[in-house]
Chain A
């Protein structure tokens, strides 16, 4: 507090030196004005306005995470997680998984340095290999959708396990899903009109 006063005093001195005029004190509310503003409910609160605004924004975001699109993404995340864990059983709670080197793969306990993180890395490598092999094969009707699906699953694995989205706040999910959906809708609009000279 003493430092703040000191800085204020320095600023005041500087201003007075520059302008050559004494700095006038900011007038305070008179008791009558305070009473009138209180009755009208217009008295500004002395709380930290930035903090209040941030809290309000967080609450609004918390409400927004119940939107159907976020719910849908949540279901996709859960589905991938469940499918992955039906093969790889990491029984530890998410917040302590960092400490386990043993995971169960198809009913067999396997100990690898890094535990679930290493298993996810191997899965990412295998999926990439499948994608590359698919791209070298003759194209069928399902080739492209299959490759895009594999890319989506790989991205989800990174987001869920490496970026810890499964244990973090759902607001973070919302922050990722909202722009992704906007982007996807925009791409679909562009594709709908792709042949018109773009």
Chain B
């Protein structure tokens, strides 16, 4: 290590990692606004992917009908209920910490993570079934189907890890009725993922 970097290391003081700062109203509003702006960008991305599928649906109704007949909707309907339930668990977790129930927060957000993980697992099962039917990424329908649903699945995976982080922090007593901004921001993300699936489910699987 050179003398110069030693000097830099000595001059750097690492911030304490276990310090809990209570955000003020302005910080809360700014953080939520930032999250909404991020979600706005996601609307455009998902909107584009859905638009591509909708155009294909209009121009190739027979192909889509054939896929629907072969695939069925039992599995994906169950998955949809699961994601809706995870959204409910998420908001119940936020409610719990607002009421000062720290163990409730951990339980509900833990449940959210589990349901999100099961959702992704069942999506994998569905993809496997589609692969057996020959509906892989290389087909015209496949590329238009996998792009939005897999991109959504990636969001769910990120959400599951995020939820686990909230659970870990919650277990250490990081959150309180005065400090739940992190839970609320995660909630916005998770509910948005739910809203996207509401449209994907109807447009791709039902219509």
Chain A residues packing against B (C-beta within 8 Å): 6-7, 10, 14, 17, 58, 98-99, 114, 117-118, 120-121, 124-125, 128, 131-132, 134-136, 144, 147-148, 150-151, 154-155, 158-159, 161-163, 168-169, 171-172, 175-176, 178-180, 182-184, 186-187, 190-191, 194-195, 198
Contacts and interface: CB of A to CB of B under 8 A. Distances in A.
Given A158-B191, A183-B43, 16 more contacts: A10-B7, A14-B4, A14-B7, A117-B95, A128-B201, A131-B206, A134-B206, A135-B205, A147-B202, A151-B199, A162-B194, A182-B44, A190-B51, A190-B55, A191-B54, A194-B55
A176 B99 contact: no
Contacts of A125: 81, 84
Contact of B11 (A10, A117, A118, A150): A10
16 contacts: A7-B11, A14-B7, A114-B88, A114-B92, A117-B88, A121-B87, A124-B87, A135-B205, A135-B206, A162-B87, A169-B33, A175-B40, A179-B44, A183-B43, A183-B51, A187-B50
B55 A198 contact: yes
A179 B51 contact: no
Contacts of A172: 32-33, 36
Interface residues of B, number: 51
B84 A163 contact: no
B163 to A, nearest CB: 15
A151 B54 CA distance: 15
A20 to B, nearest CB: 14
B85 interface: yes
B202 A98 contact: no
Contacts of B17: none
Given A183-B51, A187-B47, A191-B54, A128 B191 contact: no
Contact of B43 (A10, A162, A176): A176
Interface string B26-40: 000100110011011
A99 B100 CA distance: 11
A125 B85 CA distance: 9
Contacts, number: 139
Contacts of A175: 33, 36-37, 39-40
A154 B58 contact: no
- The prevalent SS among residues of B at the interface is helix
A179 B202 contact: no
B59 interface: yes
Given A6-B11, A125-B84, A191 B58 contact: yes
A190 B91 CA distance: 37
B187 interface: yes
A135 B40 contact: no
A124 B194 CA distance: 11
Contact of A155 (B7, B188, B198): B198
Given A117-B95, A132-B206, A176 B51 contact: no
Given A132-B77, A147-B207, A117 B92 contact: yes
A169 B28 CA distance: 12
Contact of A128 (B55, B81, B188): B81
Nearest to A10: B11
A135 B59 contact: no
A169 B191 CA distance: 18
B24 to A, nearest CB: 15
Nearest to B68: A135
Interface in B179-197: 187-188, 191-192, 194-195
B80 to A, nearest CB: 6
Contacts of B48: 183, 186
Contacts of A163: 187-188, 191-192
B166 interface: no
A134 B206 CA distance: 9
